[in-house]
Structure formats: C-alpha cells, structure tokens
Amino acid sequence: MRKLISLAIGLIFITTLLGCSGDDSSSGSAPNESKTPDSSSSVTTIPNNEQEYPKIASWLAKKDEIIASEKPFDLIMTGFVMLDEAEKIKSQNPNAILLAGLSTNWIWENPDWMEFLTTVASYGSDKTYEINDEMYLRNPDGSRCPFGWASESWGQEEIWAMDPRNPEWVELITSFYKTTLEQPQHDGIIVDMVVEKQWWCPDAISDEEWLEATRDIYAKIDKLNKDDKLVIFNSGKNLADIDEYDQYFDGYVMENFMGDQLKSTFEEGLAEADSDFMVIYAVDTDDTGIKDLNRMRLGLTLSLLNDNTYFTYDFGPRDHGQAWWFPEYDADLGDPLGTYYEKDNAYWREFENGTVVSSPNTTVTVTFDTVHTDVTTGEQSQTFEVSQGDGRIFIKSDA
C-alpha cells in the first residue's frame, strides 16, 4: 500500500491549462502535473482476448520516460495525461489504455503535489478549492494521522490521512475525480492507497466510520463516472484488502507483488486472476534497484496464464513508474489456444506462436516436437530447462 513519491513536477499557470502543450517532467507515484485540458468523455471497457500478449502496464507511470522509450505500453496509470502526451503514447500503441488519478483518503505534504490536486479539483468549478486544517483526520490529542512516509534519505515528505467524513474534503476530492473523468484522453481512473481500516490511527476513527465514509466517497465518484470508464484501485497485497469496495472498481493492482514488503505469493496471484476483475501484477526490485530478472520473468509469465491480467516491473514502492523494457515484452505470442494447465509442477499455456512456462516451485525440463527459441537467451532447441522461480517464453522457430 506504500506509494512512490519521487516527483518531478512541471507547473504552469492555470490560465494556460486549456490546450497547453503539456511539456513537463513526470514521475511515478503521485500525480505529476498541475495542468488540465478541456473536458468531454470517452468509454472504455475491460480489455478482452483481442489484446495482444504480453500485456505490459506502468503503475504510477513516468510518462516522459514512456514517450522517450517509444515502447508500446498497453496500460498507463499515472496522475494525469495531457492531450499531447496521449497522442504520443497512442502513436506507440493505438490501443493503449490511459488512466489517471490520486488517492481519495490521503494527501502527500508536497507543495507541488497539493497544488496539482487543488488545481484539477477547481478546474471548471465555480469555486477554488483549497486544503484546510479541518480536512485532516486527527487523533484524540489533535495530532494529524501520518502514514509514516517521511524520509530524509529518500527526500520524501509525510503522507497524511484525510477525514472521509469531512464534507469539504469529500467535495474537493470528488471534484478532482470529476475533472479527471471528463477528460477525453482518460480511459478511466485509478485510486491509490485504498484501505478498509485506519490502521495507522485507530483511535482517530472507528473501522465502521472509515469504511462507511470511504464507501460514500466511492459511490459519489461512481455517479460521476457517467460513461462507465475503467476504474482501477491499488489493493496493496490482494483483493481481500479492498473487497468491501468491490462494487466500485473494475480491477486492482497487486503492489510489490512477490516482494519482501507485502509478501504476496505466486499462488495468491494466480488465485486472484480467477475472477471477473482485471488484475495488474506489479513486481518490483523492493526499492533496491537490483533487477531480479528471474522474478520479473516469473511475474510476466504468470500474467500470461490468464486473459484478465497485466504485468509491470519497476523500482518499487518508493519510486514507481520507470519505463523499463525487457526482450520478453517483445515476444510475438499471437492468440492463446486455450487455458493454462499444470504439468511437472509448473504452469503452461499454449499460444499460436509458442508456449509460456511459469515455474515457481521446481526446475522443469521443457521438450518440444519442433525447434523453438527461448526469447530470453535466443537459444534454439527442442529441449530447455526452466529454473525454479523463473518463467520463460518459447517461440516456434517457424512462427
């Protein structure tokens, strides 16, 4: 449930918001711009089997890196997408899904971040929204409720809980999402840091009050979503952490998937896909920057076992959204030929152009009747070995 805060925000005057160029720097975790384009709406449905495989996402994306990479990301989740940015991303992948948003219950105490929030919330409104002291959730002694994010070593300010019962806060955050939903380039919204309980300050609000008030916020946002655009929540570990709100979202991010911080497992991720929700496996380096490519491939191949799943790999909760691209992302698998199956204590799925093998628990020998190419190594053979905790994509040599 932690969130990246390494922000580089390009601020411009509000009078230039409409139709502006959107030339800004952006980074992962929080919304990165205080700029807003004109409004209208589009409709997005949950992706289906017509989507190419693999399906690569970016959680709290660094849009400038994605654009510079010229790579065809399928699902972009970020703070806001400007019209010109959308054009550039769509030029790399016309089917890219663009989602934008923040959190509904938390504020990062960064001046640029807060200005972005209030600017978007105020856009097109008769009033100018500002954050005031009454909006913060407070303990019985009057102190604010912190998330525990402040860090000198990471250069990150604190994140504070907002009082979901406060009508001024509810009006502000729902106005933010109204503006975000109305943008034609946004195919939907994201909501970060979703929780069912106030774990950090249990004396500030009861679980029942938190749940009821937060659910009311989501109900208001749902009514604003007149075109039924896609809604993705950050669940943290898994659906069980946010299922009290399940009527208000279409899918969810499993943050730090298979990581040391939230400690979700491959088996839990596989089980999560057995639903009507879209699931995004967000694997990362546990904030180390050390790329564990075996774990990356294990998560990627897991995402290929089902059709309602996406995959992303980045630095970690302290710094999401890098536009990393791996050779496996370019695999041309074609359409799936059926559902996944278990064999030799591993998970397999056949595609038009090859086979995916995901092996969390054992080292497995893979044998084909014809020559295949291991996308990772470039090796061509009829027999391969997939190590425990790894996954591989094999493409038919005649494909």
Distance CA 393, CA 356 (A): 5
> CB-based contacts of 91: which residues, under 8 Å, 6+ apart?
none
Burial 30-42, CB ≥16 within 10 A → b, else e:
bbbbbbbbebeee
Task: Choose the final residue of a domain: 301, 330, 359.
Answer: 330
pLDDT of residue 61: 98
pLDDT of residue 20: 33
Range of the domain at 350: 334-399
Q: What is the mean pLDDT of residues 196-221?
A: 97
Q: What is the mean pLDDT of residues 347-353?
A: 98
309 in any annotated domain = yes
173 in any annotated domain = yes
Which is more confident, 92 or 32?
A: 92
pLDDT band at residue 363 using 50, 70 and 90 as cut-offs: very high
Q: What is the mean pLDDT of residues 183-206?
A: 97
Co-location of 182 and 311 in the same domain: yes
Number of domains into which the chain is organized: 2
Of 364, 365, 397, 362, the C-alpha closest to 379 is 397
| CATH number for the domain harbouring residue 102 | 3.20.20
pLDDT band at residue 12 using 50, 70 and 90 as cut-offs: very low
Co-location of 275 and 352 in the same domain: no
For 26-39, the pLDDT digits (tens) are 333 333 333 333 33
Co-location of 315 and 340 in the same domain: no
Which is more confident, 24 or 339?
A: 339
Task: Choose the final residue of a domain: 330, 353, 370.
Answer: 330
Is residue 366 within 8 Å of 357, Cβ to Cβ? Answer: yes
Co-location of 33 and 179 in the same domain: yes
Q: What is the mean pLDDT of residues 44-64?
A: 77
- Is the pLDDT reported for residue 41 higher than 80? no
| CATH number for the domain harbouring residue 380 | 2.60.40.1180
- Is the pLDDT reported for residue 17 higher than 60? no
Q: What is the mean pLDDT of residues 83-102?
A: 98
Co-location of 131 and 155 in the same domain: yes
pTM of the complete model: 0.89
4 in any annotated domain = no
Other C-beta atoms lying within 10 Å of the C-beta of residue 308: 22
For 279-301, the pLDDT digits (tens) are 999 999 999 999 999 999 999 99
pLDDT of residue 243: 97
Residues in the chain: 399
3 in any annotated domain = no
Task: Choose the final residue of a domain: 330, 365, 380.
Answer: 330
Strand 380-386 versus strand 106-108 pairing type: unpaired
At residue 221, the 3 state secondary structure works out as helix
Radius of gyration of the chain (CA): 21
- Is the pLDDT reported for residue 239 higher than 50? yes
pLDDT band at residue 51 using 50, 70 and 90 as cut-offs: low
285 in any annotated domain = yes
Co-location of 274 and 345 in the same domain: no
Co-location of 320 and 386 in the same domain: no
Is residue 396 within 8 Å of 370, Cβ to Cβ? Answer: yes
Strand 309-314 versus strand 188-191 pairing type: unpaired
Co-location of 385 and 318 in the same domain: no
5 in any annotated domain = no
**H-run or E-run covering 76:** strand 75-78
1 in any annotated domain = no
339 in any annotated domain = yes
Q: What is the mean pLDDT of residues 225-232?
A: 98
Co-location of 360 and 311 in the same domain: no
For 315-336, the pLDDT digits (tens) are 999 999 999 999 999 999 999 9
Is residue 295 within 8 Å of 283, Cβ to Cβ? Answer: yes
Strand 390-396 versus strand 354-359 pairing type: antiparallel
Co-location of 113 and 192 in the same domain: yes
pLDDT band at residue 16 using 50, 70 and 90 as cut-offs: very low
Q: Could you give the angle at which helices 167-182 and 111-122 cross, rounded to 10 degrees?
A: 70
- Is the pLDDT reported for residue 205 higher than 70? yes
Co-location of 263 and 359 in the same domain: no
Is residue 395 within 8 Å of 372, Cβ to Cβ? Answer: yes
Is residue 123 within 8 Å of 148, Cβ to Cβ? Answer: no
Co-location of 206 and 140 in the same domain: yes
